[in-house]
């Protein structure tokens, strides 16, 4: 069983989707820890309700120390709005997964997070959006892509509505990416991730 930590900054709907999936027993792992960089993040309440150890940590050195102490093998960024330190990335190379609310390389990088992504996409008149799950590298949103899924957003009347539409896709592919990782089905080759579908 893979020991997983989930990092959140806000409401934690992606965290809840993961908690529900782990509870179904479809993922070969366990969420051992939920960490937020914001003490009032509702994601911490979700973790507490699920009986998962949770804490607020702002310092990246303390975060790394805690992950090691807890024996964490996979770190999932689920709406975590802080830049991960190079030291943590090096220590957990190809073991940190992030969900981004666009089809990378569109609307990604510095400044593109949360609702800002959808505001930019809505302003541009995007008809198809989606989400991307990728490994974290020292380049913001620049790590190897694991899974992407698109969805029609042409009927969205606002950035907030677009965000809600894309969120449904986020929940789907984040769960799938974590499942694939925990089943050892992901192989990073250069900047690409090969999925060992034939062994599923």
Q: Residue 105's Cα: distance from chain center in Å?
A: 16
Question: Which residue numbers are catalytic?
Answer: 100
Instruction: Identify the pLDDT of residue 199.
Output: 53
pLDDT tens sequence for the chain (200 residues)? 999 999 999 999 999 999 999 999 999 999 999 999 999 999 999 999 999 999 999 999 999 999 999 999 999 999 998 889 999 999 999 999 999 999 999 999 888 988 999 999 999 999 999 999 999 999 988 999 999 999 999 999 999 999 999 999 999 999 999 999 999 999 999 999 999 976 54
Structural domains in the chain plus CATH codes: 2-199 (3.40.50.170)
Residues listed for the chain: 200
CB 33 within 8 A of CB 72: yes
Hey, which residues does 54 pair with through a beta bridge?
34
Q: What does the pLDDT look like over 167-192, one tens digit per residue?
A: 999 999 999 999 999 999 999 999 99
**Which SS3 state, helix, strand or coil, does residue 140 take?**
coil
User: 65-74: per-residue pLDDT in tens?
Assistant: 999 999 999 9
In the chain, the DSSP E strands lie at 2-8, 29-36, 54-56, 74-77, 96-100, 128-135, 145-152, 186-189, 192-195
């Amino acid at each position: 069983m893979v020991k997983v930590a989930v990092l959140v900054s806000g409401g934690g709907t992606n965290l809840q989707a993961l908690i529900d999936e782990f509870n179904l027993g479809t993922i070969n792992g366990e969420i051992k820890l939920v960490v937020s960089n914001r003490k009032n993040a509702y994601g911490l309440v979700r973790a507490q309700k699920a009986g998962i150890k949770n804490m607020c940590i702002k310092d990246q050195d303390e975060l790394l120390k805690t992950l090691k102490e807890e024996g964490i093998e996979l770190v999932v960024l689920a709406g975590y709005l802080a830049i991960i330190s190079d030291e943590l990335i090096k220590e957990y190379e190809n073991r940190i997964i992030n969900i981004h609310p666009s089809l990378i390389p569109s609307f990604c990088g510095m400044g593109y997070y949360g609702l800002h992504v959808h505001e930019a996409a809505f302003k541009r008149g995007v008809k198809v959006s989606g989400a991307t799950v990728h490994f974290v590298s020292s380049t913001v949103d620049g790590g190897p892509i694991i899974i992407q899924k698109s969805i029609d957003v042409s009927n969205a009347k606002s950035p907030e509505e677009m965000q809600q539409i894309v969120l449904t896709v986020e929940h789907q592919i984040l769960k799938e990416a974590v499942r694939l990782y925990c089943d050892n089905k992901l192989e990073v080759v250069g900047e690409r991730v090969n999925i060992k579908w034939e062994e599923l």
